[in-house]
Amino acid sequence: MAKNKFNKNWLHDHINDPYVKLAQKEGYRARAAYKLKEIDESEKLIRPGQVIVDLGCTPGSWGQYTRRKLAGAEGGGIQGTMIGLDILPMDPIADMHFIQGDFRELEVLDQLDEVLAGRKADLVLSDMAPNLSGIPSADAARMEHLIDLAIEFSQFHLKPTGALLVKCFKDMGFTQIVEKFRDEFKTVKQVKPKASRDKSSEIFLLGRGLKHPSERKPGAEPDFHP
């Protein structure tokens, strides 16, 4: 009974959510597009000509927003390169190179390297979140693991002057995650866009400028090597 009440409350909130209505009106696949939009407008992350990698890109609303920012004035193609990776399938987005698979696997990384053609990314985005078990310690460990993967990916594929934006949650190992970001990036900022629901502990971390290995703490080296 309680579960049914929760589902009904969620459905009511979702249907009446102004960002859900706006996403439907403006053609975005999910309301999450407005979280990236707010962060981008305040932090000036996305600019034409950039190489941008979107980790966990399905269903594609972040990719849709990114494409609109990279599109030329006349809308004919984009200025820059967009690459999306996800283990789940995704409906195509114009001008986005979509690679389905686990980005820890060599086959997927080979496809990524082919698209990058020797270039590094200006921006890595991650809206990834774990499947929740309801066990706080387990969920925190899963969230931290996803952040570790995004950081390690950035160590290999991000320009030294680039930026990493990730989703995390204040009730899931947040303090440790912030420390990891500070170990790897010269500047770290916490961002809570208005499009994040008030009830949610969701928050975004933005790291800019990868630290040189000599600036990192001992033991802060990446675990996987593509």
Token look-up 């609303």 returns: 61
Angle, alpha carbons 10-16-136 (nearest 5°): 30
Q: Considering only CA atoms, give the Rg of the chain.
A: 18
Asked if residue 86 belongs to a known ligand binding site, the reply is yes
Which position among 167, 170, 189, 192 bears the catalytic label?
Answer: 167
Asked if residue 62 belongs to a known ligand binding site, the reply is yes
Asked if residue 113 belongs to a known ligand binding site, the reply is no
Query: Would you call 170 a catalytic residue per the annotation?
Result: no
**Rounded-to-integer distance, Cα 119 and Cα 116, Å:** 5
Angle, alpha carbons 189-124-85 (nearest 5°): 140
Asked if residue 183 belongs to a known ligand binding site, the reply is no
The DSSP call for residue 195 is: T
Between strands 96-100 and 81-86, the pairing is parallel
Asked if residue 127 belongs to a known ligand binding site, the reply is yes
Binding site residue list: 60, 62, 86, 102, 127
Q: Could you give the residue numbers annotated as active site?
A: 167
Binding site residue list for S-adenosyl-L-methionine: 60, 62, 86, 102, 127
